[in-house]
Amino acid sequence: MDLQKMIRKYAYTLARVGLNVQPGQPVLVEAALEGAYFTPVFAEECYKLGASNVIVHYLDEANLKIAAKYRSDADVRKVEEWEKLQNQQYLDEGACFVRLEGVNPKLMEDVPESQANAIFAHVDAVRNIMRKASREKRCHWLIAMIPTQEWAEFILKDVPKEQALEELWKLLLKLCYIDEENDVVKTWEEKSLKKMERGLKMDSYEFTKLHYTASNGTDLTIALTPYSRFGFKRPANMLPHQANIPTEEICTSPEKYGTEGVVFASKPLVLGGKAIENFGFRFEKGKVVEVIAEEGKEMLEALVNTDEGAAYLGECALVEYHSPISMSGIVYYTTLIDENASCHLALGRALGRPLPEDEPWTLNDSQIHIDFMVGTPDLSIIGTTKDGREVPVFENGDFVI
């Protein structure tokens, strides 16, 4: 394998399949500083597609870590006026945007939970500016990964350090369905069609609720609205694009006040650069009423208290346990990849727009949208239809419909 050629093909895939950059369009980029070597490659592929300008802002978490040590919590969380305005001109001109994440899992190990939470709150608030544009301006967007040496060494502990980055690249390319021979546009079109078909199959049952159970203690019921559709139909005024690469999920937004029971996470959640493991939530009438955790409890409690909607669910997503990412046998310590190895839920903002005021249903809204993984090898999901029938959706972690 010519790895540099394949990295170039990955950059093209992100620009063409992920963002679907249009001629004359500005491209806004948030890139991890550790992955700066890849950004010019990606920018060039955007320019080849006709981008008018590629504007790169680097996320320097090491500097944020130092700032959090010496500045007040309120100052760290504050979004400066220049941060609010730095991209507005480009958004007004119809920019698309991408987040190129790079992982340094050990960076925040020695940071107190309160400081890590403040860092997360600041970064997420800045990103909310872009998310708002995606909802209001229908601009297309993408989240993708850049392999970094620190990340490679952390998750590929059995690989010699000098080979770890190359091996992580090979692994990521495989997870993104990129090889030396394939037409990535066609490959991803076919993949999207299969996901759509499965989503429409789910919708055909007109489920009113989903009941999750697993041997780890999960026993959770999630109510769905008549608008909770897994088969996503793109609005006519939104260009085709892939918001996440890689991705395996079909997903929807549940009824805000309809979640009951307890759920336990099956994979770590990374917040503010810190990994939180072995945690869960107890829900009553849709709301988290108890955070269950031995470590990271302070961060999780701060998370669900971000605002009124942060303690409610905004997404439930279905992913087979025996998916390609899960079968790689690796915990990636980044939500983008780990969520596509497992069924997951998200606290906070719903995926769709608010429902009409005369509807009896409610979709959640919040500053945050934080996914956490709940899929296990023995996960069972039973759907209840509007006429009261119970239909198995998942058995032993995989679809059965």
pLDDT value at position 215? 98
Packed helices 3-13 and 184-204: angle between N→C axes, nearest 10 degrees = 50
Taking the domains of the chain in order of start, what are their residue ranges? 3-175, 196-399
Provide the pLDDT for residue 118.
Answer: 92
- CA-to-CA dists, residue 178 to 8, 143, 188, angstroms: 11, 17, 10
Q: What is the pLDDT of residue 139?
A: 84
Is 341:267 a contact under the CB 8 Å cutoff? yes
Residue 234: the pLDDT is 67
Residues 6+ apart with CB under 8 A from 69: 111, 115
- CA–CA gap between residue 289 and residue 358 (Å, rounded): 28
What pTM was computed for the model?
0.92
Q: Please check whether residue 73 is in contact with residue 122, taking contact to mean a CB–CB distance below 8 angstroms.
A: no
Biggest distance spanned by C-alpha atoms of the chain: 61
Residue 231 is given by DSSP the state: S
Backbone phi, psi, residue 7, to 5°: -65, -40
Per-residue pLDDT of the chain (401 residues; tens, 9 = 90+): 899 999 999 999 999 999 999 999 999 999 999 999 999 999 999 999 999 999 999 999 999 999 999 999 999 999 999 998 998 899 999 999 999 999 898 899 899 988 998 999 999 999 988 888 877 777 889 999 999 999 999 999 999 999 999 999 999 999 999 998 999 999 999 999 999 999 999 999 999 999 999 999 999 999 999 999 999 766 666 678 899 999 999 999 999 999 999 999 999 999 888 889 999 999 999 999 999 998 999 999 999 999 999 999 999 999 999 988 999 999 999 999 999 999 999 999 998 777 777 789 999 999 999 999 999 999 999 999 999 999 999 999 999 99
The CATH code for residues 3-175 is 3.40.1830.10
Amino acid at site 305 = N
